[in-house]
Chains A and B, each alone.
Chain A
Amino acid sequence: MGRSARGALWIAALIFSSTLLAQEARIAVLNPRGTQPPIRLIPMAPRLDTLDGKTIYIVNVAFGDTFLPETLKVLAQRYPKTNWVFKRKIGSYFDDDPKLWAEIKEKGHGMIMGVGH
């Protein structure tokens, strides 16, 4: 084998091994994500068999001033045998209103809550 042929072979081998190295340069990195907490399931409240004769609260949680009164009108017209009660939760989105929840548990059969804007 001549000198030039040996040189060509050497270059080819170099290219081949470099390509292999590039293909095989797989690296392991750490997972950057934190640990999520477990989720405790909460069973949903039993549903009603009918709305007739039932008391349903409509609760406003910063849902504007105009939408829920119209909700009340439309639902009262469609379901006239239902007692619809309109309430506004105190404070902002983040504030609790235990008095209102207690009232709904005592006097209500269901609740529609409007949240957002």
Chain B
Amino acid sequence: MITQRFEELVKTIAYKKGMPNQRFVFVPHPVAGRSPELCHRYMEGNDPVTKKPIVEEFLAALTKPLNPEDKKTGFLQRPPRPRLIEPDTAENLQRLFAKNGWTDGIPIVLPTEERVAMMMKSTSRKPDEIVGTMRPSPPHEAWEFTVEMVAANAVMAGAKPEYIPVILALASTGVTSLFSSTTSFARMVVVNGPIQEQISMNSGLGAMGPFNEANATIGRAWTLISKNLGGGGTPGETYLGSQGNNLNYNNICFAEREDALPSGWNPLHVQKGHKAGESYVSTFTGWSLINYGGFALPHHQFIKRMLTGLLASGTGSGSQATLLLDPITARDLRNDEGFDTKEKLSDWLMKNGTSPAQQYWARHSDELKKGKEGIEPFASWLKYPEEAFIPVSSFRPETPIEIIVVGGETNAFLMAGDFRYVSGASVDKWR
């Protein structure tokens, strides 16, 4: 039984899982949070897809005899995948790519054999080498792709050949930028190491804005790869974000400002156990960012409030936080507020964080049970009103609050977002 809104999704999943004739009964959407009376009326009504009574549809699904197609074993043939698209004019090909959902809605650079070959000159890997697999979310099938396929999408994004090691590394993580969930996820890409300078990435003024070819096209390539090589990005089937997320166009792609890190603050990839001289690409998942100008000091107290605000808004619940600090803010935190490493700031924020009471109890069933049994401090916290704050952070204790330095030092700004680190890959391995 499924709600009507997910008809395309479940039929697609059933087909890909090998049961194309799986029987479904559909009910109106949504059902969560609806009153028992309304649900009762739904049950006594018609299936909104078949227009037949729901109760009879259940009976048919359970008792209607199977036909020979339902009992079939073996393999289903997938459509063949030609290496080349049938030749046509550039204008018609642009139309074809857009119509088939192979773009992000913006015109692409057509991936001719010459352009793709040129793109692959900046990697030592062979065109037919498998880079990895990618899927829109765990229930979906994973698609496999080669170096040449990644290069074709890099060309489409407008990337220069020298960017291809970063794009291959990004693709090799197997992380999609278009995660299929109703909650409209965003992703973030952070590049560290010598490759930043080698391909002229922007880590300074306007690094997250539309001012740099490498930042722009590497981020865009990830979305095209997620659609075309990761089998995702078809609304209703492999993408369910109810409102969508504008950040998916470029996935907040930038380089960390390593030259402006305060003394004792390590670059992100070094924090993750890699050598400073290694080039590395990291991926993050989350939903949104909020902005703050640090005109009032100290910064760490305001950051603490921002993070509580993220939790109170509901967006940070169940996730983690990531801070994007302008170098001025980072230096203030280091020199004036005593955080001589990123880790110390991260730990302080976790230890001193607060959570809205209502959300804390919703996410901490063991502690709720202890509180009801009179065990302190939970018993006292249970007496707090719902709108009060519990002196514990609700961010995931198993992963740190991430801190990245980026920006052009025009002011003491920072952004905080409900992002968490997902995974990364060595760029050097794809040179």
Query: Which residue of chain B has the shortest Cβ distance to A110 in the bound complex?
Result: B62
User: Are A35 and B1 in touch, CB under 8 angstroms?
Assistant: no
Q: What CA separation (Å) do A60 and B307 show in the bound complex?
A: 34
Query: Which residue of chain B has the shortest Cβ distance to A82 in the bound complex?
Result: B62
Of the four ranges (under 10, 10 to 19, 20 to 34, 35 or more), the interface on chain B belongs to 35 or more
Pick the residue among A43, A51, A64, A117 that contacts B59 (CB under 8 A).
Answer: A51
User: Are B27 and A67 in touch, CB under 8 angstroms?
Assistant: yes
Pick the residue among B43, B141, B153, B231 that contacts A74 (CB under 8 A).
Answer: B43
Mask of A32-56 contacts with B, CB within 8 angstroms, 1/0: 1111111111111011111100001
User: Are A34 and B35 in touch, CB under 8 angstroms?
Assistant: no
With a cutoff of 8 Å between Cβ atoms, the chain B residues found around residue A25 in the complex are 89-90
User: Are B143 and A26 in touch, CB under 8 angstroms?
Assistant: no
Query: Which residue of chain B has the shortest Cβ distance to A38 in the bound complex?
Result: B75
Contacts A31-B81, A36-B141, A66-B35 given; does A47 touch B62 at CB 8 Å: yes
User: B281 an interface residue at 8 Å Cβ cutoff?
Assistant: no
Query: Which residue of chain B has the shortest Cβ distance to A94 in the bound complex?
Result: B138
Please tell me which stretch of B108-116, B249-257, B395-403 contacts chain A, meaning at least 4 of its Cβ atoms lie within 8 angstroms of it. Answer: B108-116
Between B32, B88, B102, B148, the greatest number of chain A beta carbons within 10 A of the residue's beta carbon is seen for B32
User: Are B152 and A31 in touch, CB under 8 angstroms?
Assistant: yes
Q: What CA separation (Å) do A115 and B24 show in the bound complex?
A: 11
Contacts A28-B112, A30-B148 given; does A36 touch B76 at CB 8 Å: no
Contacts A64-B32, A115-B2 given; does A38 touch B76 at CB 8 Å: yes
Pick the residue among A30, A42, A66 that contacts B85 (CB under 8 A).
Answer: A30
With a cutoff of 8 Å between Cβ atoms, the chain A residues found around residue B70 in the complex are 43-44
Please tell me which stretch of B199-207, B222-230, B335-343, B363-371 contacts chain A, meaning at least 4 of its Cβ atoms lie within 8 angstroms of it. Answer: B222-230
Please tell me which stretch of B15-23, B308-316, B384-392, B420-428 contacts chain A, meaning at least 4 of its Cβ atoms lie within 8 angstroms of it. Answer: B15-23
Within 8 A of A (CB), among B209-257: 224, 228-231
With a cutoff of 8 Å between Cβ atoms, the chain A residues found around residue B32 in the complex are 62-65, 67, 117
Contacts A33-B228, A117-B31 given; does A78 touch B2 at CB 8 Å: no
Contacts A31-B85, A34-B231, A63-B31 given; does A42 touch B19 at CB 8 Å: yes
User: Are A69 and B73 in touch, CB under 8 angstroms?
Assistant: no
User: Are B40 and A35 in touch, CB under 8 angstroms?
Assistant: no
Q: What CA separation (Å) do A88 and B296 show in the bound complex?
A: 50
User: A112 an interface residue at 8 Å Cβ cutoff?
Assistant: yes
Q: What CA separation (Å) do A31 and B111 show in the bound complex?
A: 8
A61 to chain B, nearest CB (A): 10
User: B36 an interface residue at 8 Å Cβ cutoff?
Assistant: yes
With a cutoff of 8 Å between Cβ atoms, the chain B residues found around residue A73 in the complex are 40, 43
B318 to chain A, nearest CB (A): 10
Q: What CA separation (Å) do A43 and B21 show in the bound complex?
A: 10
User: Are A34 and B1 in touch, CB under 8 angstroms?
Assistant: no
Contacts A27-B87, A43-B70, A113-B1 given; does A35 touch B116 at CB 8 Å: no
User: Are B141 and A32 in touch, CB under 8 angstroms?
Assistant: no
Mask of B54-77 contacts with A, CB within 8 angstroms, 1/0: 010011011111100011111110
With a cutoff of 8 Å between Cβ atoms, the chain B residues found around residue A13 in the complex are none
B37 to chain A, nearest CB (A): 9
Contacts A37-B141, A69-B36 given; does A48 touch B62 at CB 8 Å: yes
Q: What CA separation (Å) do A25 and B92 show in the bound complex?
A: 11
A29 to chain B, nearest CB (A): 5
User: Are A32 and B153 in touch, CB under 8 angstroms?
Assistant: yes
User: A75 an interface residue at 8 Å Cβ cutoff?
Assistant: yes
User: Are A33 and B81 in touch, CB under 8 angstroms?
Assistant: yes
User: Are A30 and B152 in touch, CB under 8 angstroms?
Assistant: yes
A-B CB contact pairs (8 Å), 28 listed: A26-B88, A27-B89, A27-B93, A27-B110, A30-B111, A30-B152, A31-B81, A31-B84, A34-B144, A34-B231, A36-B231, A37-B141, A39-B18, A39-B141, A41-B19, A42-B73, A43-B73, A47-B65, A49-B63, A50-B63, A51-B62, A63-B1, A67-B27, A70-B42, A94-B139, A116-B5, A116-B6, A117-B31
A32-B153, A36-B141 are known contacts; what are 17 more A-B pairs with Cβ within 8 Å?
A28-B84, A29-B85, A30-B113, A31-B152, A32-B149, A34-B144, A36-B231, A37-B142, A41-B18, A41-B20, A42-B17, A66-B36, A67-B43, A70-B43, A74-B55, A94-B139, A112-B25
Interface residues of B (CB under 8 A from A): 1-3, 5-6, 10, 15-23, 25, 27, 29-36, 39-40, 42-44, 55, 58-59, 61-66, 70-76, 78-79, 81-90, 93, 97, 102, 110-113, 116, 134, 138-139, 141-145, 148-149, 152-153, 156, 224, 228-231
Interface residues of A (CB under 8 A from B): 25-44, 46-51, 56, 62-67, 69-71, 73-75, 78-79, 93-94, 110, 112-117
